[in-house]
Amino acid sequence: MRHFFLIVLAAGLLLAPALAGEATPLGTFIKGSTEGCFLGGPNGWNPLTEPKVPFFVGTRLKTEGTGWGTLAFPFGSIVLRGDSEVRIEPAGLFLQRGTYQAFVRRTPQGFKFRIPSATLSVRGTVFTVAGEGGLQVDAGTVEVTAGGEAGTPVTAGNGWGTPVAADATLPTSLQAFEAALRAEHDGKPAEAISGFLDLLDAPSLSGLPVFQEHLVEKALVVFGEAGLPADHPLTARLRAAVGRLPEAWYGALENALAADQAAAAQRLLGFAAAARGGGPPDQRELVARALLAEMTLNDQVFEKLVDKLGATPTPAATPQPKPSEFWSSSRTFLQALHDPRVVAPERLTQMIAPAALARLTPRAAASRVALASRLPAETLEAQGLYYLVKALRADGKNQQADQAMAWFRAHHAGSPWLERAEKLLARVRSTTRAQVKKVVGKATTATVRNLPKPTPTASATKESLAAATADTFGASPEAGGEDRSGPQATGTTTLSSQGQEAPAWAAESLGDSF
């Protein structure tokens, strides 16, 4: 029987730019037209020849004429229309000029959409914005902040600034794609799936197989999340699309598993035969089924599947694309959970690298970090120890991080990864002290302001805040020497006397550490 102790990591652990020691993609831009898309470089704009590219903080993208594409974020889709230019910023997306339509679920805290004249804050909405200063909200609410004034809420059916009228000159395929995204956002799964699949026959997309894969993947994601029955009329169309573009099925399956959506993954596995095309199961299918068994605590199935993962895979009849990092790191996790002796140290390093963890939910990421922290220290190489210390510190597991650092210093003296870890911890301490001092100052000021005269309460407040501060630095572990664990460990430090919470700044302060 497998036993593991789940730790709920701080939300900051999953914000890619916050924890990555290396650049981590924030999403992918996928071309919706064969021409008219450009990628910004150090020497100007270059035609985008690749069908899709990952984007990072600092990436610039531009369209001209009828060129268009979609920025696929974890929280939704941004459709960049023609003659438009955007830049990915540390705190959001900046539209320099032109227009895009956004289909957003819930954005990460602090993520903003900017245009030259205003900043937009959204939570689950559909809106169209123009760089010249216009906004039209189709669903939900967008708060607009401009000119240093307080934010103004703009609700569905209303606009702000220069009116953004419907553009009948947009390419037909772009309009159809936006309509399918709108149906997805509005909770109309059958309409959304039909819309995505209908676009497979669009003449303008015939030369864009990667965008076609994206369409099928979107349709499968909607099918899995909506819980449509296996005998739904759209199932046959989806099965045919998977047989035609099997990589879309692996993409949708990855999304479901990374999001801990066991029911959706189970439904998607119903299309496995179509993806195989008469051949043996791909290693990714075995990983998917084993992950599902781990998620549902089906130990018997788990053991059988992990044994198969250790066998030499049957060569494919045709060349296969390189699996994404999710599949390789997940295979490592499953094998290490079963028998860590068969896993090479460099694979364990990959398993807990920030780029691998950023793809997962807190539960799934916590499972992998917890597994790594329970392995014998000599099992991890220097880089793996660095990633482990980073993840433990981000989640406030100070005692475990200190133990890992002690072993790190004793056995990897002179390693550049040890040097990075020392710099990381110094920065975390420095930033945390400054942030705690700021919060403490505000809290104390507010307390004193409400008191008619100095009282013992103020002294008690100071002492309790000092205790909270000491706990933040790991100087005062909880009773029994145990760190917080379980569903209540949220990555926040409570200032008990004020009832306020200070976020886990460790994760947020590392953006430009290295």
Half-sphere exposure in the Cβ direction for 180 (13 Å, CA) = 26
The mean pLDDT value for 16-31 works out to 68
Q: Please tell me the distance from the alpha carbon of residue 138 to that of residue 153, in angstroms, as a whole number.
A: 13
Q: Please tell me the distance from the alpha carbon of residue 441 to that of residue 420, in angstroms, as a whole number.
A: 31
Contacts of 183 (CB under 8 A, 6+ apart): 189, 191, 192, 195
| 215 contacts 197 by C-beta, under 8 angstroms | yes
The mean pLDDT value for 96-116 works out to 91
Highest average pLDDT, of 11-15, 260-264, 340-344, comes from 260-264
Q: Please tell me the distance from the alpha carbon of residue 205 to that of residue 216, in angstroms, as a whole number.
A: 13
- 155-158 long-range contacts (CB < 8 A, ≥24 apart) are 156/125
User: Does pTM top 0.85 for this prediction?
Assistant: no
The mean pLDDT value for 164-177 works out to 87
Amino acid letter for position 107: T
Q: Is 493 helix (H, G, I), strand (E, B) or coil?
A: strand
pLDDT tier for residue 476 given thresholds of 50, 70 and 90: very low
Both structure tokens of 55: 């984007």
pLDDT at 49: 93
Is residue 511's pLDDT more than 90? no
Phi then psi for residue 329, to 5 deg, are -70, -30
Is CATH 2.60.40.1180 the right assignment for the domain spanning 18-288? Answer: no
Task: Calculate the alpha carbon distances from 35 to 49, 51, 209, 237, 388 in Å.
Answer: 9, 10, 14, 29, 44
Alpha helices for 124-245 (secondary structure H)? 172-185, 189-198, 209-226, 235-244
Give the number of residues written for the chain: 514
Extents of the domains making up the chain:
1-17+348-514, 18-288
Q: Please tell me the distance from the alpha carbon of residue 336 to that of residue 346, in angstroms, as a whole number.
A: 12
Burial class (CB in 10 A: 0-12, 13-18, 19+), 207: exposed
Query: For 281-336, what is each residue's pLDDT tens digit?
Result: 999 999 999 999 999 999 999 999 998 887 765 555 555 667 788 999 999 999 99
Is residue 497's pLDDT more than 70? no
pLDDT at 358: 86
| 493 contacts 501 by C-beta, under 8 angstroms | yes
